[in-house]
Structure 1
Amino acid sequence: MSSDTIRVGIIGCGMITQRSHAPGFAKVGGVTITALCDPVAENAVKVQKEHAPDARLFSDWRELLKAGLVDAVSVATPVYLHAPMSVAALEAGCHVLCEKPMAMSSAEATGMLAAARQAGKVLQLNLSRRYDPFYQTIAKLIADGRLGELRHIRAIRMHTGAPDQGWSPTGTWFVSKKHGGGIVGDIGVHVGDMMLWYFGAVESISAVTATRRSDIDVEDNATALFRFRSGATGLLELSWTSAVNRMCFEIHGSDGILLGAAPGEGLQILRKQGTPEQIPPTQYLQGVKNSFQCFADAIRGIASSPAPGEVGCAIQVVLDAIRESGRNGGRQVAIAAG
């Protein structure tokens, strides 16, 4: 499929689709949204009116897959549905773009990857940092040796509330264990993926998790210590109960320390001697493609996906280890090589 129009169906028309998936696909050349599915009819109608006027509406995702209207699907649903929906779509001959985190467990993620390989279809994760010029610029700085040998990373992501208290008021699944909620999967997946991307494979993890809200059954705070196979270390700090919103990180190398926060604030490299090097947003990598364009390019064979199923499986192992260690009082969890 090098030039044919790619027909996309979106399963799940909640806030993430309304804010990201639908407008994202609508802007990609040679892609048409032909089907929308959500059990809440008004969600699908809203997306149809705003982004896909010719799309057919479904309330049952299985019926969408049977209709023969799509070449690819975007799975933008609560986490507990990712694996069954993705596997069924792949077995039906569709390429799949799946929201993060990939699945409820590493076992589910591995099954999704196996289904993609068996079907010979693209399985891509919507890990947003992989498609962001800010984080791509950091990856290039590291690859170019600007920091020397990597030794440590500290990443902090603090929020004053969970998604159901902010940008997604109806998204109660974010704070429901049986639906795959919790801060580790919601935010930890992004920060943890960044750590794996820059530092490589993880050898072990020790973590402490806590639940400070009295009305939920998932962790809303987490701190995890990483040991990478390279010998480097990492510290991940997450909260949904912070007094203020805060996102920042430090990447320590033998030749300098890279400091960063929100993408719009630029980057700074500290050296042992001399003036800190400033890297403003105007110097970020140019021409970085978003997730939806990358998905289309991967389907057409133009370029490999920056976040294929293998990447999703790798971060899923880390998420599982953080939760396991947290449940067991911070006991170190070893991660198998490979």
Structure 2
Amino acid sequence: MNTETIRVGLIGCGKITQRSHATGLKAVDGVKITALCDIVAEARAVVRDAHAPDAAEFADYMDLIQSGLIDAVTVATPVYLHCPMTLAALDAGHHVLCEKPMGMSQIETAEMVAASRAVDKVLQINLSRRYNPFFQGMAKLVHSGRLGEPHHIRAVRVHTTAPDRGWSPGADWFVTKSKGGGIVGDIGVHVGDMMRWFFGDVESVRALTDTRRPDIDVVDNVAVLFRFRNGATGVLELSWTRPVGHMCVEIHGSDGILLAGANAKDGIKILGRDNEVERLSESDLTQPSPNSFQCFADAIRGVAPTPVPGELGHAMQRVIDAIHESGENGGTPVVL
């Protein structure tokens, strides 16, 4: 399929697809959105009118998968649907780009990985920081030894509200446990994956979790302590209930400390010995790199393997499961 057009079906036409998937895929040479699926006709219409006027429309994902109109799908639906939709698409011989978190549990994600291997099809997970040039630059800096031996990483991401009252109004699955909602799968998956990327595999987890919004049954505040296999430690703080939004990353090494805020345009600051301060701009850290959708197309064509295969999504799901298990048991350590 090096030169043939890649025909993609979009399963789920909500805000993520409207804001990211449809726009991103339409911009990739040799990719055509040929089919749309959502149970809400109005959501399909938004994507159709803006991005794919000729695409076939379906209310049932199995009808799309069996239509003969596609080579690949994106899955951007509530989390509890990720596994069955992905398995069905792979079984039909289609490549899959699945939103994060990959599934409801590591049992599901292991099954998804096994299925992709069995049919030799691409399974890519949309862990978006992995495709971000700014975070790629930070990873390269950490892995280069610029900070010395890695000792500790702290990451904070706090919001004023959950997505159902923010950027995706009415999307109650974000705050419904049975549908895969909760802050860990929403934003913790991104930040936790970044921490694993920078410091390697997690050995153990201790988590304190809380639900402060009275009308939901999912965790909306989390504090996590990690021990990494390399001996380093990490702290992850998440919230949907803070008075203001805030994001930051601190990376402590034997030779320096890296500080980064919410805005890549502000660059980073490195604190060295003897009170040395080095500032690196966004341009110092970044190089042009393919986004998630270009990577997906390249992997399908055999140009390059996907940088975020199902195995990475599964590894992060194990961490997510451990956070929930520890939190439900009052912070008892969970060894991965």
Same fold (TM over 0.5): yes
- 1:49-128 alignment to 2 at 5 Å? 49-128=49-128
The answer as to 2:318 corresponding to 1:317 is yes
Task: Give RMSD over aligned pairs.
Answer: 0.7
In 1, the alpha carbon distance for the partners of 2:19 and 2:265 equals 20
In 2, the alpha carbon distance for the partners of 1:185 and 1:36 equals 25
Q: Which runs of 4+ in 1 moved over 4 A?
A: none
Q: How much does 1:102 deviate?
A: 0.2
Q: How much does 1:276 deviate?
A: 1.1
Match of 1:15 in 2: 15
In 1, the alpha carbon distance for the partners of 2:123 and 2:194 equals 19
TM-score, structure 2 normalization: 0.99
- 1:209-224 alignment to 2 at 5 Å? 209-224=209-224
Match of 1:244 in 2: 244
- 1:263-302 alignment to 2 at 5 Å? 263-302=264-303
Q: How much does 1:284 deviate?
A: 2.6
Match of 2:2 in 1: 2
In 2, the alpha carbon distance for the partners of 1:196 and 1:274 equals 29
Partner of 2:117: helix, strand, or coil? helix
Partner of 1:62: helix, strand, or coil? helix
The answer as to 2:192 corresponding to 1:192 is yes
Match of 1:34 in 2: 34
Q: How much does 1:274 deviate?
A: 4.8
Q: Deviations over 1:22-62 (max 9, x none)?
A: 00000000000000000000101110110111111110000
Q: How much does 1:275 deviate?
A: 3.3
Q: Report the more deviating stretch, 212-221 or 301-310.
A: 301-310
In 2, the alpha carbon distance for the partners of 1:60 and 1:86 equals 14
Match of 2:159 in 1: 159
In 1, the alpha carbon distance for the partners of 2:76 and 2:265 equals 27
Q: Which amino acid aligns with 2:179?
A: H
TM-score, structure 1 normalization: 0.98
Q: Deviations over 1:93-114 (max 9, x none)?
A: 0000000000000000000000
Q: Which amino acid aligns with 2:158?
A: M
Match of 2:334 in 1: 333
Q: Which amino acid aligns with 1:95?
A: H
Match of 2:43 in 1: 43
In 2, the alpha carbon distance for the partners of 1:170 and 1:13 equals 14
Partner of 1:64: helix, strand, or coil? helix
In 2, the alpha carbon distance for the partners of 1:254 and 1:306 equals 29
Partner of 1:273: helix, strand, or coil? helix
Partner of 1:3: helix, strand, or coil? coil
Q: Which amino acid aligns with 2:271?
A: L
Q: How much does 1:303 deviate?
A: 0.9
Gaps of 5+ in 2: none
Partner of 1:24: helix, strand, or coil? helix
In 1, the alpha carbon distance for the partners of 2:244 and 2:207 equals 23
Q: Which amino acid aligns with 1:124?
A: Q
Q: How much does 1:324 deviate?
A: 0.3
In 2, the alpha carbon distance for the partners of 1:28 and 1:322 equals 37
In 1, the alpha carbon distance for the partners of 2:285 and 2:36 equals 35
Q: Which amino acid aligns with 2:53?
A: P
In 2, the alpha carbon distance for the partners of 1:62 and 1:170 equals 25
Q: Which amino acid aligns with 1:295?
A: F
Partner of 2:19: helix, strand, or coil? helix
Partner of 2:269: helix, strand, or coil? strand
Q: How much does 1:282 deviate?
A: 2.0
Number of residue pairs matched by the alignment: 335
Gaps of 5+ in 1: none
In 2, the alpha carbon distance for the partners of 1:254 and 1:307 equals 29
Q: Which amino acid aligns with 2:80?
A: Y
Percent identity over paired residues: 63
